[in-house]
Amino acid sequence: MTQSSNKPRILVTRAIFPSVIERLSAHFSVESNPEDTLWDRPQLMARLVDKVGAFTTGTERIDAELLVHCPQLRICANMTVGYNNFDLPAMTAAGVLGTNAPDVLTETTADFGFALLLATARRVTESEHFLRAGLWTRWSYDMFSGAEVHGSTLGIIGMGRIGQAIARRAALGFGMQVIYHNRSRLDSATEQALSARYVDKTTLLQSADHIMLVLPYSAEAHHTIGAAELACMKPTATLINLARGGIVDDAALAQALRNRTIAAAGLDVFEGEPRVHPGLLTVPNVVLTPHIASATAGTRQAMADVAVDNLVGFLVHGQPRTPLNPQVLALR
């Protein structure tokens, strides 16, 4: 849907809250996508050619090839905290600002980490499928016995804002021992406040009862968990991936779940999503959700509002809220 006016032109790539379109329309001529059509790359490029800004949702690849075709583009504002869809060096070189939406989804995502952990360790979906299939005929002492969550050891890989929110829940709510591994170690006051102990990756893999992945995706983080890492984990362990597809080698994980190298996994993100590795769809000991860790109405609204703040802040007032490559601001 296009509005013609002399206002600066921006693109909203996917269907979004009406309030977002209203706020943006006060400042810009907005081309939106109320039908939520999934544009392929040439379609996206064609729509961006005459735009100065884009409201993006974390899945649109913004790289040098696209930027060459969009000389007027000044800003791409993700409504997600993750920004692995941005080639940030290429954007900086082209003078295009990238922004994301940190903070507003931290607690909601941490809640979901526990939803997945509890569902996985306590076999909630597996037992529900059994019940719905009409297979429940009597109570038995060992039916769907799972792994203890309270009092167990939680290993967190990636100790940013979301990792820390998970650590707080683990220690205070579930009496868990928290160990973590991260590119950089937290200062000792923060470690103490979180009751979290830094360990190397191998120690974490070998000693955690449950492992949660909350690190950002990068080339170095690709397949942080593969066959070798799965083999290090306890056979009773559960693995939770809230981070990004590609952090786990999903083929290796499907094999490990089938062989019971580890007990179970809870996955909200997948390599090549929305496709899911077929091996994961046929094993019972995995809980699968369609990238919904931040999906509450309030949080998704807050995430979208950050993206709007960034577009208006930058294009109207020269001051974005959460810039990823602030070097670009000096170019204005």
For residue 81, state whether it binds ligand DGY (rule: CB under 6 A): yes
Q: Which is nearer to ligand DGY, 193 or 302 (CB)?
A: 302
Selected catalytic residue, list 107, 126, 191, 273: 273
For residue 294, state whether it binds ligand DGY (rule: CB under 6 A): yes
Q: Which is nearer to ligand DGY, 182 or 299 (CB)?
A: 299
- Distance, CA of 122 to CA of 209 (rounded, Å): 13
Q: Which is nearer to ligand DGY, 81 or 253 (CB)?
A: 81
161 in active site: no
For residue 98, state whether it binds ligand DGY (rule: CB under 6 A): no
177 forms beta bridges with 153
Neighbour-count burial for 255-279, b at 16+ CB within 10 Å, e otherwise: bbbeeebbbbbbbbbbbebeebbeb
User: Considering the complex, what minimum distance in angstroms separates the CB of residue 127 from ligand DGY?
Assistant: 27
291 in active site: yes
User: Considering the complex, what minimum distance in angstroms separates the CB of residue 196 from ligand DGY?
Assistant: 22
User: Considering the complex, what minimum distance in angstroms separates the CB of residue 294 from ligand DGY?
Assistant: 4
Q: Which is nearer to ligand DGY, 105 or 256 (CB)?
A: 105
244 in active site: yes
Selected catalytic residue, list 14, 181, 244, 300: 244
Beta strands at 53-56 and 75-78: parallel, antiparallel or unpaired:
parallel
The alpha carbon of 275 is separated from its chain's Cα centroid by a whole number of angstroms, namely 16
For residue 58, state whether it binds ligand DGY (rule: CB under 6 A): yes
Q: Which is nearer to ligand DGY, 61 or 197 (CB)?
A: 61
Q: Which of residues 104-123 bind ligand DGY (CB under 6 A)?
A: 105
Selected catalytic residue, list 123, 291, 300, 321: 291
User: Considering the complex, what minimum distance in angstroms separates the CB of residue 116 from ligand DGY?
Assistant: 13
User: Considering the complex, what minimum distance in angstroms separates the CB of residue 80 from ligand DGY?
Assistant: 3
- Distance, CA of 30 to CA of 230 (rounded, Å): 47
For residue 163, state whether it binds ligand DGY (rule: CB under 6 A): no
Part of the chain binding ligand DGY (CB under 6 A), chosen from 12-20, 61-69, 77-85, 311-319: 77-85
Total residues binding ligand DGY (CB under 6 A): 7
For residue 102, state whether it binds ligand DGY (rule: CB under 6 A): no
- Distance, CA of 231 to CA of 256 (rounded, Å): 8
Q: Which is nearer to ligand DGY, 171 or 288 (CB)?
A: 288
Residues 54/48, Cβ–Cβ less than 8 Å: yes
For residue 82, state whether it binds ligand DGY (rule: CB under 6 A): yes
Part of the chain binding ligand DGY (CB under 6 A), chosen from 24-32, 78-86, 249-257, 270-278: 78-86
What is the residue type of 221?
A: A
Residues 162/104, Cβ–Cβ less than 8 Å: no
- Distance, CA of 50 to CA of 4 (rounded, Å): 12
Residues 109/268, Cβ–Cβ less than 8 Å: no
Q: Which is nearer to ligand DGY, 255 or 296 (CB)?
A: 296
Quote the tokens at residue 278: 């077929």
For ligand DGY, the binding residue among 29, 32, 56, 80 (CB under 6 A) is 80
Residues lying near ligand DGY in the complex (CB under 6 A) are found at: 58, 80-82, 105, 293-294
Q: Which of the residues are catalytic?
A: 244, 273, 291
